[in-house]
Amino acid sequence: MSLAQEFKKYKKLERVLTALVILISVLAPISFSWIMDKKLHGGISSVIAFLFLAAAFGVYVIRHQVSQRLMKHYESLDIGAVLQKKMASEKQNQRFVIINTGREHFHLQCLCSGTPLLVSKSRVREDFDIEN
């Protein structure tokens, strides 16, 4: 499976899980109100609403793990090799490491000179798709 296909798979899974979290979170108060209208015991309706919220939290944890797996996959890639071809000359061998990740950017630092660098994640994805 190529890098782009794997990324699309994880992004689709992340979107589905996000929609599921929202749906379950909305169903919790609706189910509580509906069961209370049916004149059932308040404790039962509270337990059912709590179960919906626990399910939403469980789906959120799974979604977070998928997001972390996606980020670790990109963090483990050798970004330095691609950046070296783009930025450094043959004489100047530079290696880059990821020091921080933002929402849309990687914060990189050159191991040789220590200079920080901000690179967009979409640019890195494009570069690796071209490389691979």
Opening angle at CA 20, ends 125 and 76, nearest 5: 25
- Output the pLDDT for position 115: 78
- Output the pLDDT for position 80: 57
Kindly state the average pLDDT of the residues 12-23: 88
Q: For tokens 């626990």, what's the residue?
A: 54
E strands, 1-132, are 96-101, 105-110, 116-120
* Nearest alpha-carbon partner for 15 in 50, 63, 47: 63
Residue 106: pLDDT band (50, 70, 90) is confident
Residue 132: pLDDT band (50, 70, 90) is very low
The tokens of 29 are what? 């108060």
Query: Mean pLDDT over all residues of the chain?
Result: 75
In tens, the pLDDT along 29-51 reads 888 788 878 877 778 878 888 88
**96-101 and 105-110 strand pairing:** antiparallel
In tens, the pLDDT along 44-83 reads 878 888 888 899 899 989 988 887 877 676 655 556 566 6
Residue 117 pLDDT > 50? yes
Q: Answer yes or no: CATH 2.60.40 is held by domain 79-131.
A: no
CA–CA dist 39, 55 (Å, integer) = 24
CA–CA distance from 32 to each of 26, 60, 69, 103 (Å)? 11, 21, 35, 36
Check residue 57 and give left, alpha or beta (phi > 0: left; psi -120 to 50: alpha): alpha
